[in-house]
Structure 1
Amino acid sequence: MERLLALIPPDVTRIDLLAPPFAGHLHPVLAMGRALSTHYQVRIISTEGARTRIEAAGLTALLLPGDYDSPLTAVVNPRYAVKSNPLRLYRQFKRVVGLLKNFADELAGVWLQQGKPDLAIADFTLPVVGEVCRRLVIPWWTSMPSPCVIDTPDGVPAYCGGLLPPVNTLQRFTQTLHRHKVRGFKRLLFRLFRQTIRQTGISELYRQDGSENAYSPDCILALGEAWFEFPRSWPVAVRFIGPALYTPPLTTTAPPFVAGKRHVLVTLGTHLDWHKEAVVQAVHQLAQTLPDWMFHFTDGDMAAGSVTGQKNVVRLPWVDYDCWLAHYDAVIHHGGAGILWHCLQREIPSLVYPVDYDQFDHAARLHHCGKGIWLRGGVQSIAGAKAALQRVVEGKEA
């Protein structure tokens, strides 16, 4: 976090960081908050669902009134894959817009009552923060855990199934079409919801320089490393500060490790509930082919229930990455930014099974730089991952 501290202007005393209550967005903000709290007055602004984790991190929570947690969960954790399906993306966006309008109104009220910060740093999923900041004259930065989704005039476009850098003219032309497709869909959604979006203060999708109005024009904190990303012309506001990794210290059951055994963690993060049972079944099939290995599947939900086990497969509600990830020989994960960088920093071999959102783009980058094996072909690619696991853990084919 030294790179973050070096960016803070000298006249700043109080910093507010904002994020929704979901681990992939909240935990990086908590990591930054902890680093900043040694030098500045820091508050974390979120919803009631984030209270326990903010307080466990030793930080001050400033919680917005109103019921956000249930509606937000329904939006970001549907019972189906969204991917690039236009109708499903439309429905998801429609539900988000109304929530963001209420969020902006209540945020302005909280700042007027509780005092304004000298700097606000907001997760990229909260674009309305920028308009509130402009209205109240508060400097505003964007926090971006997934830099690959930033819209740029060139380079490999995101949300297109995990494209790799083009190697010939046809691929370059195809990716240009994909870039136009993504921008066209964004413009269509903006036009469809123009009246509602304008209530938040956002009047334009893109600035005159082509950058996205949803992100800060002054500083976009890219929570990754430039070497991991594909070449592109980044907006001038982008600053790579490295991954922000942190897991709040909460009371959870420790994973059971067996001496002398290989251990593999399987995770789909905190979302994708609609797909987890199918993955558990695939893990059981994989475990049968490696009877001397132990497989731990985590639901990514501390309230998911008790620890259950069958033969060499254990299902856990939650695994604290900071405490336990180093004990695993390999990880099969969905390509979320958090688990991706946890594995990279600890040099733990990973097999990536992307399911939705930016996960395919992360899988493509892991594959391209030789830091992970991309499992393709649906959930059965997990069931048939014996050879890939043995290759990355034991260095042998099977």
Structure 2
Amino acid sequence: MQRLFDLIPAGVTRIDLLAPPFSGHLHPVLAMGRVLSERYQVRIISTRGVASSVTAAGLAGLSLPGDNDTPLLSVVNPKYAVGSHPLRLYRQFRRVVGLLKNFGDELEQLWLREGAPDLAIADFTLPVVGEVCRRRDVLWWSSLPSPCVLDTPDGAPAYCGGLMPAQNGYQRLWHALQRKKVRLFKHAVFWLFRDVIRQTGIESLYRQDGSESAYSPLRILALSEETFEFPRSWPAAVSFIGPALYTPPTQCAAPPFEANKRHVLVTLGTHLDWHKDAVMNAVIALASTLPDWVFHFTDGHQTVAGQQQQDNVYRLAWVNYDNWLTRYDAVIHHGGAGIMWHCLEKNIPALVYPVDYDQFDHAARLDWSGKGIWIKDGLKGLETAGPLLMALVYADVSDQR
């Protein structure tokens, strides 16, 4: 993260960092804010629901007016799987675009009242910030916890089930076809919602140089290590600054660790609520094959009270990674960027059970590098993962490949 200081232009004194109110996006922004606040005037801009987390991080915050948290949560974390269902996709994307437009409008009014920064660093899910910055003459950068999702002219594309690097001509051809498929899908979505999207000020999907207009043309802060990513021709704006890890302090109780037992954390992050009961049942089946081990399944929500126990499985509301992750012998996670890098930085062995979004691409990178094992058989693979867990705990991951 110290690499970030080398990129800040001379003359910048005030920096605003912007993120939606979701842990996987807010926490990296808080991590950057804590580093930058050593030398600059830093403000975190998000919704009212995370104001306490910003304060707990020791940072100044500005909250957008109105109740943005409830509609945002209902869109990105529905009680059902969106998948590739066309009507659900249509409804979700239309609502997302409407919320982004509101975000942009409220941000511009906020800057008129409170003063604009010299530099705005916005999470990649907030492309409307770029248009506001253009109108207000503010320098705009993007932050990206998952650089694997960037469009590039070569390499394994994202959102195709977790493609590995091409090893021969056939695989390179297959990757090229998949890249075209992804671009065609993006063009189709943009055309379908062109009238709604243009209300945000975004006129085109790609710039004349081929770069994606959703990201800053000046700087994309890749919150990863280039050596971890698959080889590809990165856009000129990309700068790797390493993972940005931070978890705000909470009042949640400590997880129930038992003396002389192996402990495994199972997490799907803060989203995917529609799938968590099914995963909990799979964890119970897995735990029955390792009766002397203790399993903690976390819902990822600080607002959920209490804990449940069934034999050697506990269902917990929240586990603070900064405080407790090193107490676990292994982690089973969904491939979210946050928990992935927490495990890598703390050298915690991991099984990866991807469900959606870029999680399959992270699973592929962990599996390829020997830093994790990808569970590819769905819930059945999770239920029967006992031997893999024992291999992780008692031997090096690389020895099991």
Please state how far the C-alpha of 1:336 moved relative to its aligned partner.
0.2
RMSD: 1.3
* Counterparts of 2:156 and 2:89, CA distance in 1: 21
Question: Whole-Å Cα distance in 2 between the matches of residues 234 and 206 of structure 1?
Answer: 16
Deviation digits for residues 346-368 of structure 1 (CA, Å, limit 9, x no counterpart): 11100000000000000001011
**Which amino acid in structure 2 is aligned with residue 75 of structure 1?**
V
Question: Match of 1:38, as an amino acid?
Answer: E
Q: CA deviation at 1:82?
A: 3.6
Structure 1, 262-271 or 371-380: larger mean CA deviation: 371-380
Query: Match of 2:353, as an amino acid?
Result: Y
Question: Which residue does the alignment assign to 1:34?
Answer: 34
| Residue type of the alignment partner of 2:316 | L
Structure 2 unpaired stretches of 5+:
none
- Does structure 2 retain, via aligned residues, the 8 Å contact 1:84–1:160? no
Aligned to 1:346: 346
Does the alignment pair 1:54 with 2:28? no
Matches of 1:198 and 1:333 in 2, distance apart?
Answer: 37
TM-fit CA distance, 1:84: 5.1
In the TM superposition, what whole-angstrom CA distance separates every residue of 1:35-87 from its partner, at most 9, and x where no partner exists? 11111111000011111111111111100112211111111112333445555
Equivalent position of 2:149 in the other structure: 149
Assess, with a 3 A threshold, how the Cα gap between structure 1 residues 84 and 228 changes in structure 2: closer, same or farther: farther
Q: Give the superposition deviation at 1:168.
A: 2.1
Q: How many residues align?
A: 397
Deviation string, structure 1 residues 147-193 (Cα, Å, up to 9, x no partner): 00011111111011111112222222121111111111111111112
Please tell me whether residue 183 in structure 1 is matched to residue 183 in structure 2.
Answer: yes
Letter in 2 for 1:207: R
Secondary structure of 1:227 counterpart: coil
* Percent identical residues: 68
Per the alignment, residue 128 of structure 2 pairs with: 128
Taking the aligned partners of 2:230 and 2:217, their CA distance within structure 1 comes to: 22
Retained in 2: the 8 A contact 1:83–1:357?
no
Q: Aligned residue for 1:78?
A: 78
Give the equivalent residue in structure 1 for 2:21.
21
Report the equivalent of 1:63.
63
Query: Partners of 1:206 and 1:293 in 2: how far apart?
Result: 51
Aligned: 1:104 with 2:112: no
SS in 1 for 2:377: coil
| Compared CA separation, residues 287 and 29, structure 1 to 2 (3 A) | same
The equivalent of 1:201 in structure 2 is: 201
Q: Secondary structure at the match of 1:228?
A: coil
**AA in 2 matched with 1:127:** P
Match of 1:300 in 2: 300
In structure 2, what is the equivalent of residue 316 of structure 1? Answer: 316
Aligned mates of 1:150, 1:219 — CA distance in 2:
13
- Give the Cα separation in 1 of the matches to 2:11 and 2:84: 43
Output the CA distance in 2 between the equivalents of 1:37 and 1:290.
Answer: 46
Aligned 8 A contact 1:13 1:41 in 2? yes
Cα distance in 2 between the residues matched to 1:91 and 1:5:
41
Q: Which residue identity is paired with 2:313?
A: V
Aligned to 1:332: 332
Give 3-state SS (helix, strand or coil) of 1:331's partner: strand
Paired position in structure 2 for 1:273: 273
Alignment of 1:127-276 (within 5 A): 127-276=127-276
Indicate how the Cα distance of structure 1 residues 82 and 172 shifts in structure 2: closer, same or farther if over 3 A, else same: farther
In 2: Cα distance, 1:194 partner to 1:298 partner: 39
Aligned counterpart, 1:115? 115
Greater alpha carbon shift after TM alignment, 363-372 vs 66-75:
66-75
List per-residue Cα deviations over 1:370-397 (Å, max 9, x = no partner): 1000001111211100000000101299
CA distance in 2, matches of 1:86, 1:2: 43
Q: Which moved more, 1:299-308 or 1:383-392?
A: 299-308
1:206 Cα deviation after fit: 0.4
Counterpart CA distance in 2 for 1:321 and 1:378 is 25
Q: Give the residue type in structure 2 aligned to 1:154.
A: D
| Structure 2 CA distance for aligned equivalents of residues 20 and 80 of structure 1 | 21
Q: Is the 8 A contact 2:31 2:246 kept in 1?
A: yes
What code does the residue aligned with 1:136 have? R
Instruction: Give the letter aligned to residue 160 of structure 1.
Output: C
- 2:41 aligned partner, one-letter code: Q
Contact 2:94-2:196 within 8 A present in 1 as well: no
**Partner Cα separation in structure 1 for residue 88 and residue 56 of structure 2:** 36
| Equivalent residue, structure 2, for 1:395 | 395
- Give, as a single letter, the amino acid of the residue that structure 2 aligns with 1:71: P
In terms of mean alpha carbon deviation, does 356-365 or 79-88 score higher? 79-88
Once residues 66 and 189 of structure 2 are traced to their aligned partners in structure 1, the CA distance between those partners, rounded to angstroms, is 26
Identify which range, 196-205 or 383-392, moves more after superposition.
Answer: 196-205
Partner of 2:10: 10
| Deviations 1:213-235 (CA, angstroms, capped at 9, x unpaired) | 01000000000000111111111
1:382 aligns with 2:386: no
Q: 2:95 maps to what in 1?
A: 95
How has the CA–CA distance of structure 1 residues 86 and 75 changed in structure 2, closer, same or farther, with 3 Å as cutoff?
same
1:84–1:159 contact (8 Å) kept in structure 2: no
